[in-house]
Amino acid sequence: MKPILFLLFNLIIITHSYGQGENKQMVRLAKLVIDSTQLEIYNTYLKEEIETSIKKEPGVLTLYAIAEKARPTHITILEIYATPEAYRSHIKTPHFLKYKNGTKEMVKSLELIEGIPLLPAMKIY
Amino acid sequence: MKPILFLLFNLIIITHSYGQGENKQMVRLAKLVIDSTQLEIYNTYLKEEIETSIKKEPGVLTLYAIAEKARPTHITILEIYATPEAYRSHIKTPHFLKYKNGTKEMVKSLELIEGIPLLPAMKIY
């Protein structure tokens, strides 16, 4: 192989690997069931926690929370963090701890499901 | 009440109602289980369907698909449409029908859950 072709070939390999390595997103679904007698106050806590996280933490890419129409106590949150480090730093913030400790007695169950996005660049348009 | 105050008061009421009436989003979680022997081809169909919908349909605000890390055959899609009309028009498009008919034999189960977003203006940043 001519040296110039060899160089080009290596450049393609490196660029390709880098492109793949670049996406370090952590994507998760949190599924919660909330005590129905405390749902309103729980939602207030969650709303405040989400708004503060999005405002103060650039590494929190979304916290999209949905209540089921038929069972509003059943909540799913799509969580996207830029990196695992962004997630680890998120759970140490005062606003997260306020939510976590404040809602402890309201959450009847919590399931965390690690996910792989089909299209990591997907947005909400 | 002075006429100017009355006018201002009405303006606030109208603006407020309009703001609330404006959000006609339809938000849904689709939960699918795919035949493991056909998962790769299913994902190819889904990817193409999503990319085309986002490109061609301004009323499709997101189709965020996630596979569970521990069970990649278990897929959840967060679907956000600008209006119920945008959804109804979406399911008549050739790209949706290609996906729907092409994957019929690959989908072992499909659950559609209508949802209410906690913060309808939430994005993926």
Percent of chain A residues topping a pLDDT of 70: 83
Q: How far apart are CA A84 and CA A114, in angstroms?
A: 12
Kindly report, residue by residue over A87-125, the tens digit of the pLDDT: 999 999 999 999 999 999 999 999 999 999 999 999 999
| pLDDT at residue A76 is higher than 90 | yes
**Residues of B whose CB is below 8 A from A50:** 118-119, 122
Tens-digit pLDDT string for chain B (125 aa) = 555 555 555 544 444 444 445 789 999 999 999 999 999 999 999 999 999 999 999 999 999 999 999 999 999 999 999 999 999 999 999 999 999 999 999 999 999 999 999 999 999 99
User: Which residue among B43, B119, B123 sits closest to A118, beta carbon to beta carbon?
Assistant: B43
HSE of A110 in the Cβ direction (CA atoms, 13 Å)? Answer: 10
Domains of chain B by residue range = 23-112
Residues 6+ away with beta carbon under 8 Å from A5: none
Asked: is A23-115 a CATH 3.30.70.100 domain? The reply is: yes
pTM reported for the whole predicted model: 0.84
Q: Is the distance from CB of A93 to CB of A50 less than 8 angstroms?
A: no
ipTM score for this prediction: 0.84
Give A23's pLDDT tier (boundaries 50, 70, 90).
confident
Three-state DSSP at B66 gives: strand
Whole-number pLDDT of residue A1: 54
CB contact under 8 A, A125 and B50: no
How much is the pLDDT for B37?
Answer: 98
Contacts of A68 in chain B (CB under 8 A): 113-116
Smallest Cβ distance to B123: which of A72, A113, A124? Answer: A124
Predicted pLDDT at A19: 42
The pLDDT of residue B23 is 84
CATH number corresponding to B23-112: 3.30.70.100
User: What's the rounded Cα separation, in Å, for the pair B101 and B104?
Assistant: 5
E strand or H helix at B38: none
